[in-house]
Amino acid sequence: MIIAAVTVAVPASGSISNLAIESATPTVEDPAPGERFSVSVTIANYDDMAAFEVTDVYIRDAGRANEHARVEDVGTVRPGGSLTVPISLSFEDSGTRDLRVHTRVENESGDHRSVSYPLTIDVEPPDEAVLSIDDIDAVAGQEEQVNVTVSNGEDRPLSNVRLELGGDAIVDNAERVTASLGAGTQAVHRYDLTFAESGSQTVTGTVTYRTADGQTRSVDRSMTVDVEPARTDPELTLTPIQSPDGPALEATLVQYGNAELRDVELRAVRNGRILARSVLDDVPATESRTATFDGATLGSGNLTVVASYTASGTDRTIEASRDYQPTDTAAITLSGVEVTREGTIVTLRGDAANVGSNDLESVRVAVEPAAGVSPSSPSRDYFIGGIEASEFGTFELTANVTDSAGSVPIRVAYSAGGEQFETREFVELDDGAGDSDAEDQSGTGGLGLLRLGIVGLVGALIGAALYRWRT
């Protein structure tokens, strides 16, 4: 606020009488601290006959000799004329200033006279632009993001709005410029910054702008940030699962520390060969991210998953290993198959084992025609029904075979999870024995022999016991 009072003339000896300061008008209303502005001082000569010279115009605090600005040898004021003199000044501190504008004049005879004029100026911090900085949760060495907002609270636009962010942080692209900021609008700037050290650190923002009146002003805003020391405490776990597409391996990376894990890449490795890769989103503190590897791609055997990441600007790795054996969601195999033969008729008795992770339904086994093999009554096929996971069901089949047949193909059909499945296995025929074991296409199997061995061992133990009892 600027207050100008009526003209006050201070009489002095001499012939200069009709002299007055008509006005003292600042060029800026409510100037800001440190802002330079001018006061236009108008000096009037009401004398119709004599001119005088304005030797000095200066501004002081009211009632004190503390001087803020002065101009000398200003010029001549002709009879009945006036002279306007600009005088520049500024104030470093905000507050109300009670001032006096003084002028000293002199005529041709050497007579002089001084007059003063009261002036009140309110120095206020600039409030056209408002600067705000969002709170920052910072970890030393880790790049953080922060939003800084510049708002125009005036009813007129601001131009050439220049924002600079600094302080104790390392700031990418620290200076941002907005050509014009309309009345009542705001501009939000996102910064990437990094604190090299932990502890109490400072972020400082400075916005410089031009008002609608043409004044260039600036606003500062500082905030203190408590930067934590970086702590990295990751854990990598591997878990076999059954995905909708079949067997899979989940790799889960957890961060128990406070530093975010960034640029995370996972590699599944066996014997130095990379089998699969996956990229994870950044892992914030106390959170986790999971990647899923296809079981068919990984295969069976010892496996190592290596996680590479960056934490607080440092590249690091962590790894986990396990023996991975993919398990189908729906899988069945024949085991313990006993083969008996009477002429050309072969009878097969055994178990159908559910080696998958899901329950099976409508399990049916049947002899499949092949060279030298044909289904035969009474058990061309056999309906087992449902088999729970890790359980088995028994079956019996009969086939008519010729001497040229080396194996009996068995077709196994079942359903799981609403889908239909079918597989084939081959039971080898042994010409030198009355029975045989079921084997898969690789020729493995032997539970029938194991059963015979157990029966023989039990018989031997019973015979020995009877002999000792009789003696």
- If asked whether residues 147 and 178 sit together in one domain, one would say yes
- If asked whether residues 52 and 118 sit together in one domain, one would say yes
- If asked whether residues 157 and 213 sit together in one domain, one would say yes
- If asked whether residues 209 and 259 sit together in one domain, one would say no
Q: Is there a domain that residue 465 lies in?
A: no
- If asked whether residues 102 and 152 sit together in one domain, one would say no
- If asked whether residues 35 and 98 sit together in one domain, one would say yes
Identify the pLDDT of residue 109. 86
The helix (run of H) or strand (run of E) holding residue 297 is helix 295-298
Last residue of a domain, one of 103, 123, 143: 123
Amino acid type, 418? G
Q: Is there a domain that residue 461 lies in?
A: no
Contact 107, 52 (CB under 8 A): yes
Amino acid type, 282? D
Identify the pLDDT of residue 434. 44
Identify the pLDDT of residue 15. 62
CATH number at 150 reads: 2.60.40.10
Contact 332, 415 (CB under 8 A): no
Pairing of strands 175-181, 186-194: unpaired
Residue-range definition of the domain harbouring residue 260: 234-324
- If asked whether residues 12 and 103 sit together in one domain, one would say yes
CA distance 336 to 203: 76
- If asked whether residues 336 and 406 sit together in one domain, one would say yes
* The two structure tokens encoding residue 164: 């600079």
Q: Is there a domain that residue 187 lies in?
A: yes
Count how many domains the chain has. 4
Q: Is there a domain that residue 347 lies in?
A: yes
- If asked whether residues 46 and 138 sit together in one domain, one would say no
Last residue of a domain, one of 105, 123, 141: 123
Instruction: Name the burial class of residue 13, with classes exposed (0-12), middle (13-18) and buried (19+) by CB atoms within 10 angstroms of its CB.
Output: exposed
Q: Is there a domain that residue 276 lies in?
A: yes
For the chain, count helices (H), then strands (E): 2, 32
Last residue of a domain, one of 76, 104, 123: 123
- If asked whether residues 103 and 144 sit together in one domain, one would say no
* The two structure tokens encoding residue 291: 């990647």
Tell me the CB-side half-sphere exposure of residue 396, using CA atoms within 13 A.
Answer: 6
Q: Is there a domain that residue 63 lies in?
A: yes
Q: Is there a domain that residue 212 lies in?
A: yes
Nearest CA to 356 out of 408, 268, 290, 423 is that of: 423
Amino acid type, 464? A
Q: Is there a domain that residue 171 lies in?
A: yes
- If asked whether residues 81 and 135 sit together in one domain, one would say no
Neighbours of 352 (CB within 10 A): 27
CA distance 443 to 438: 8
- If asked whether residues 13 and 114 sit together in one domain, one would say yes
The one-digit pLDDT tens for each residue of the chain (471 residues) are 444 444 444 444 446 778 999 999 998 888 999 889 999 999 999 988 889 999 999 999 999 999 999 999 999 999 999 999 999 999 999 999 999 999 999 988 889 999 999 999 999 988 899 999 999 999 999 999 999 999 998 899 999 999 999 999 999 999 999 999 999 999 999 999 999 999 999 999 999 999 998 889 999 999 999 999 999 999 999 998 877 777 899 999 999 999 999 999 999 999 999 999 999 999 999 999 999 999 989 999 999 999 999 999 999 999 999 999 887 677 889 999 999 999 999 999 999 999 877 889 999 999 999 999 999 999 999 999 999 988 999 999 999 999 999 999 999 999 987 778 888 899 999 864 444 343 333 333 333 433 434 444 334 433 433 333 333
Beta strands in 109-230 (DSSP E): 112-123, 129-133, 144-152, 158-167, 170-171, 175-181, 186-194, 199-210, 216-227
